[in-house]
Each structure stands twice: as structure tokens, then as C-alpha cells.
């Protein structure tokens, strides 16, 4: 199947799954039929998107990790990890945000991904660094989406508007617990990513990685402080939400901000 067909099918399945999850959240059905059907559509979307990512990213010259190809790969990873998480935690509502993002990244990769060849030579250290970086970004991206949903839930509860879709969400304490589970796992993977990145680094200035390195370490510090604050002082609620979103913003700037400048402004 060609690249265009794979992208359009994956995007359509993602949007259909997200629509189903939205309808389930709004209508609060008692059964699980809509949830099961939506997750099945999402699973099919992830499978088709995987083929699209493979065609676009893996080349004979190395990994084509141009801006939009990298975004598509991370969008796929976020959707795949979300589906894995639903096997143990009731986090499927995050698909309302994450699945459309995955669809958008696939479409952008179709339009712009092959217009710029950014091949990374394959080597053991680089492979491990890329793998852990992508997984860390995806996990912490899901955590950021969870923080946004938690912010909406807390806002409605503080203003005494617990009706509507808020009743369909797990209790606030459960939502916070899931957030910190994602943060702890993401922090561990991000730590490994930074270590493997340091091992594969030759010349931080010649490789134009100063800003990326500084912002990545900043994000690591933010998430580390948040987890320490949770353990030592019991941080929760708005404090946890702000630190989570702040850390993810730094991480997003580290990868996509740096890549945006290098690829589209400096043409490197």
C-alpha cells in the first residue's frame, strides 16, 4: 500500500476513534461497547500508522528524522503507548486529545516529511539515544495531556460544576495517581536518554546541540523537582499541573524548537 493511502487510512481511523471516545465521555453510556469499538479503531490506526512511519523514516542512508517525520513518529508512539496503558489504567479519555494529534502529525508528514532529507547515520549509541528520547517524549507528552485533563476536572470541581462529562472521569485522586505514574516512568526514560546522548556526543558546538542539551537538562530538572516535591512535600493539584506543563514545554522546545530553527531557519 502506498504512502498516501496509509496516511489517509490511519488519520481517518484516529479521528473515528477519537470521536467515539468523545461521544462516550459526553453521553456517559453504561456499557463498554463504544469504548471497545473506539479502542479497536485506535489499534488499527496505530498499526497502519506504523507502516507509514516505517516507509517515511527508515531509509538506506539512515533515519530520516526531519521535523515532520519526527513529529509523526512521536505521534505514533504516543498513541501506541496510550493503548498499552489502557490495559492497566482507565486512561482512554486521553485519546480525545492524543489521537487527533497523531492524525495531524501523520498528515503533516505526508505533505512535508519527504521534502527535506535529514538522514542520521545508524550507530549503536545513536540508535539507543533516539529510541529512549522518543519514548521519553511520548510518555511525558501523555503526562502533559493527563495534566490538562486534570486541570479541567479540578477547575469544574472547584467551581462546583461536577456534572456533565466530569462525572465520567475517574476520581481526582486516581487521576493524580495516574499522572505521577506517567511522570515517574517518563523521568526514568528521559534520564537514560540523556546518558545515552552524552555517550554519543562528539562536539556539542559543531553538532549544534547546545540549546537542545540545555533545554533537555532543564526539563529533566523540572520533572525531578516535581517528583521530589511530590515525595517530600506531597505536591498535588495545580502545583503538579504547572510543573508538568512547564517541564513538557522545555522538552518540546529542546527537540522541536531546536529542530525547527536548524531545519527551516538555518537550513542545516
Q: How many CA atoms lie within 13 A of 253 on its CB side?
A: 14
- Residue 205 is predicted with a pLDDT of 44
Question: Which of 73, 86, 108, 3 is closest to 38 using CA atoms?
Answer: 86
Nearest-angstrom CA–CA distance, 224 and 105: 29
Q: What b/e string do you get for 135-163 counting C-beta neighbours within 10 Å, with b at 16 or more? A: bbbbbbbbbbbbbebbbebbebeeeeeee
Nearest-angstrom CA–CA distance, 243 and 246: 5
- Residue 257 is predicted with a pLDDT of 74
Domain spans of the chain?
A: 1-121, 123-268
Nearest-angstrom CA–CA distance, 23 and 209: 44
Question: pTM above 0.85?
Answer: yes
* Ordered per-residue pLDDT tens for the chain, 268 residues: 788 999 999 999 999 999 999 888 877 655 578 889 999 999 999 999 999 999 888 776 667 777 888 899 999 999 999 999 999 888 899 999 999 999 999 999 988 865 454 555 555 567 788 889 999 999 999 999 999 999 988 888 887 666 556 777 788 888 999 999 999 999 999 999 999 888 876 655 445 567 888 899 999 999 999 999 999 999 998 999 999 999 999 999 988 876 666 565 655 5
Amino acid at each position: 500500500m502506498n504512502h498516501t493511502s496509509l496516511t489517509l487510512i490511519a488519520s481517518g481511523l484516529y479521528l473515528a476513534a477519537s470521536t467515539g471516545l468523545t461521544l462516550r465521555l459526553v453521553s456517559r453510556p453504561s456499557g463498554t461497547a463504544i469504548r471497545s469499538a473506539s479502542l479497536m479503531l485506535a489499534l488499527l490506526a496505530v498499526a497502519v500508522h506504523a507502516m507509514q512511519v516505517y516507509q517515511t523514516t527508515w531509509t538506506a542512508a539512515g533515519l530520516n528524522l526531519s521535523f515532520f517525520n519526527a513529529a509523526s513518529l512521536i505521534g505514533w508512539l504516543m498513541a501506541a503507548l496510550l493503548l498499552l496503558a489502557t490495559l492497566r489504567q482507565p486512561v482512554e479519555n486521553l485519546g480525545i486529545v492524543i489521537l487527533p494529534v497523531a492524525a495531524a502529525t501523520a498528515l503533516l508528514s505526508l505533505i512535508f516529511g519527504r521534502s527535506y532529507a535529514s538522514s542520521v547515520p545508524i550507530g549503536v549509541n545513536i540508535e539507543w539515544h533516539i529510541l529512549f528520547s522518543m519514548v521519553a517524549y511520548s510518555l511525558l507528552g501523555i503526562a502533559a495531556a493527563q495534566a490538562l485533563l486534570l486541570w479541567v476536572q479540578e477547575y469544574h470541581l472547584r467551581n462546583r460544576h461536577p456534572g456533565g462529562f466530569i462525572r465520567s472521569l475517574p476520581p481526582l485522586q486516581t487521576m493524580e495517581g495516574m499522572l505521577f505514574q506517567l511522570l515517574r516512568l517518563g523521568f526514568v526514560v528521559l534520564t537514560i536518554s540523556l546518558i545515552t546522548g552524552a555517550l554519543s556526543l562528539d562536539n556539542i558546538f559543531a553538532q549544534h546541540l547546545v540549546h537542545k542539551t540545555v533545554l533537555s537538562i532543564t526539563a529533566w530538572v523540572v520533572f525531578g523537582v516535581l517528583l521530589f516535591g511530590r515525595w517530600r512535600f506531597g505536591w498535588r493539584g495545580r502545583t503538579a499541573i504547572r510543573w508538568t506543563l512547564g517541564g513538557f514545554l522545555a522538552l518540546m522546545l529542546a527537540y522541536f524548537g531546536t529542530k525547527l530553527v536548524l531545519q527551516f531557519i538555518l537550513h542545516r
